[in-house]
Structure 1
């Protein structure tokens, strides 16, 4: 390995959140996005290879990513990695590791800062179009995800990494210099990405890579195209071959092979709670074969709440609830899916909620007037449908809005609102991951009791919101719900965390709460080494206390 000179302590450029475009009618940005959508449609189906060591690999097994709002149309065909390819990916990543981790931090950071700038301008509309068509997001949801959030991850991670490296021992004894190194993990990181956020698919491999790690990325079958474009951007930004290996394919087979490697050093995961728990058990069962104790970093699901106190501003609470529950068809891990409303404001809340609900438009993402589009695939559609049908037959539940669905062309589910008299109802306690909201009306005088119900109803602990103007009610809610949500909002919806402003993550069944969009996440992918350098030789081994 050749020596690399480090001739300065460099400072990251000033970092701010990426300004978001709003795509109003007749704007240049809307025209450019519509052109990108049209071009992507014309190119479909797009062939996506495996990427290992910079080499594009094509196998005999090909799977399809379809457009969920038009499921007869294949958006992309992607090659699936086989065992020989996975073995090659592991060996290639480990071979690339030495030179990548030895690269000065400023050179590693420059790759991701350049990627952010490329996405901000050159690739913005292409990645948004892939996210809209492939993952069913409308223009605004794609903008805040695939553009703004991913750009923010790349830029803020570089800022946070620089701050981490600057943290050094504050005290040095005479004749001694103490130093800390933030080494990458010994081995490779395995990143498993979800379908619902392109930014997460980009951050899962990028955060460990920035800290000098090498990564194997398995994209979601429903987001292969957008994740491939992310790799395209990183490669143009100068990411060396082998640092991030792109290995789409069958999750169970790929994961089983990877977790049997002695060099497996970390899991970086976003997905379902059930899969995360299984992975944790599998890693535990394999613990004797690993060279080190693997770092397990995961964010899973949620059963997120809004609590409406009698002092709440009802107009704000209604608008925030519509957004929190139904943006992106409720397919955010932070989406509001259970609401607790004080009976003294229930009539006002219900009237306003139904009035606003009637304005929601659902349909293909290419129609910019639609508030949300399809759910991601048939399995998701069938699951959501089953909950709606269950509610129709449940004596304690009443569907007061929505309740219909249609998968003849795309996987569309109308925004559904259920009112239940059972605080432990199936739809208020189980994660649905769709546009279904369940409301429980509580007695205003039982506010403190309902906080206990909110806290105990779900095993998750991701996000939650409290709407109140009464300071005592706010303080009580904050304290009683301290562990019910890793991201807690006051008079604001449960979704929409921004990198650099609200680090995101939850505990309990929702994950390890390592907070993406903060320095804490980056710490999980380094292993510190303490270096003590002595400048003064000792003349003997004994101490004064040894003297007679």
Structure 2
């Protein structure tokens, strides 16, 4: 029985550890990296209270050291998808019945475990499995994930407090219940925090979840699942399976209890999901919630008044942190003619001196791309550029997969503002620049808005406030996250709710209260204390 109103104040963002020389976290992380590398894993699927292994074991390798074996995960098949759905639905009633404060405390305990006991493990697993350097792993797998868990508890408590007004003699109340059925979470390789938040946010709202992560993220997903179990999450609330995408879709999208999908990944895959759901709409008990954050062709628009050092820093960090494998990565830039030479000169000098190699060497800024398929795709783009009359490589352009999947940070200059690499998502360390007439800023803004089908993130670099104002207005629909004098990456939970529109998704803003509304269904209850006993209204009487 509820005996109080429980309040969860807005938390502070988790502090970022710096791993500086002499810090306690640096040797602890290095020790954990060594321990994980010396302990090969056999990662099961988690369905209810079962840990399931199969006859099909798929090897896990660090992207920067492709011959080193971290272990295996057990790939499932169609029957495991069905088992996960059945288990989730069987758990649904008991999970819904758990009080809000007890649900909340599971996720707050998980956040605390990640901030303390498991911090080096989740960071190390992200470095090894997904090839992130230490800083990128820290801000993702530790800070952002911890923030998602803590802030979502606060946001959800605010939703539950949101109640309608009542007239005299009656009471109105809103009940925020989970969706009817199960939620499917499909997460990407590039962010451990996103991978965990997609199932966790829906589960926090009282839903039961089938979670399918991208294969390169399974190594860190396994640790998050262990954390959730230690935090007290009941078996069957989140069911973690590893299956091929078409197999997953075949079962989930034809099931009558399919209630929604929480997705981050490619636009093409999301479009296929949406089409399949639409074709099957008559099968479902309710209209499914479709929430997706998809691709991007994110821009940096530099004005003639910009500071060159600010512009170059925004381009280098925005384009090449995590090898450009962020949905928000800067991949097209517009340079004004008055600053273009200085910006290009500094870009070339900085990138030429940048170190690339293993994520375990903390002095490397650049590491490997995620796998061979990504490597081959990016290399294909680079080869096309080398043979194009419309573009040339001004720095980088080399690649090598003999040890790991290494591609140099590459800057391309094009004379065609609609050149292929200005329009299409590459998802790698390739930045294309176009030089525009510095006196035609407004015309260049029109180019930015109309070149790409995406609208995820973008930035304007300018000291002129009139230019900032103009860009902010003209690019209103060009980016769901817009940055002024900063790189277009690095959204922080509670500070910059994240998501875009157009071909970049449904703009449901992970890291804010808006996203959680998507995993809830409201019932309004009206109670009249002294009910009417006669149908007649006063207007029916003439005198």
Offset, 1:175: 1.1
Counterpart for residue 57 of structure 1: 52
Offset, 1:547: 2.8
Describe how 1:139-538 pairs up with structure 2 within 5 A: 139-170=134-165, 172-538=166-532
SS across alignment from 1:409:
coil
Counterpart for residue 104 of structure 2: 109
SS across alignment from 2:450:
helix
Counterpart for residue 31 of structure 2: 35
Describe how 1:69-108 pairs up with structure 2 within 5 A: 69-108=64-103
- Does structure 1 conserve the Cα–Cα contact (< 8 Å) formed by 2:172 and 2:527? yes
- Does structure 2 conserve the Cα–Cα contact (< 8 Å) formed by 1:116 and 1:154? yes
> Aligned equivalents of 1:433 and 1:477: distance in 2?
25
Offset, 1:133: 0.7
Offset, 1:13: 4.8
> Aligned equivalents of 2:389 and 2:157: distance in 1?
58
Question: Stretches of 4+ moved more than 6 A in 1?
Answer: none
Shifted more, 84-93 versus 443-452: the winner is 84-93
Residues 471-495 of structure 1 show CA distances to partners (whole Å, capped at 9, x for unaligned) of 1111110111000000000000000
Offset, 1:23: 0.6
Residues 231-286 of structure 1 show CA distances to partners (whole Å, capped at 9, x for unaligned) of 11111101011100011121211221111110000000000010000000010111
> Aligned equivalents of 2:353 and 2:96: distance in 1?
53
SS across alignment from 2:216:
coil
Residues 65 and 255 of structure 1, relative CA distance in 2, 3 Å threshold: farther
SS across alignment from 2:228:
helix
- State the TM-score, normalizing by the size of structure 1: 0.98
Residues 190-216 of structure 1 show CA distances to partners (whole Å, capped at 9, x for unaligned) of 000100000001000011111110100
- State the TM-score, normalizing by the size of structure 2: 0.99
SS across alignment from 1:344:
coil
SS across alignment from 2:66:
strand
> Aligned equivalents of 1:164 and 1:33: distance in 2?
38
Offset, 1:359: 2.5
> Aligned equivalents of 1:296 and 1:480: distance in 2?
29
Which among 7, 10, 22 is matched to residue 6 of structure 2?
A: 10
- Does structure 1 conserve the Cα–Cα contact (< 8 Å) formed by 2:10 and 2:151? no
- Does structure 1 conserve the Cα–Cα contact (< 8 Å) formed by 2:392 and 2:413? yes
Aligned residues: 542
- Does structure 2 conserve the Cα–Cα contact (< 8 Å) formed by 1:138 and 1:328? yes
SS across alignment from 1:173:
coil
> Aligned equivalents of 1:184 and 1:98: distance in 2?
11
Offset, 1:443: 0.3
Shifted more, 60-69 versus 371-380: the winner is 60-69
> Aligned equivalents of 1:369 and 1:21: distance in 2?
16
RMSD of the TM alignment (CA)? 1.0
Whether 1:118 and 2:113 are equivalent positions in the alignment is yes
SS across alignment from 1:74:
coil
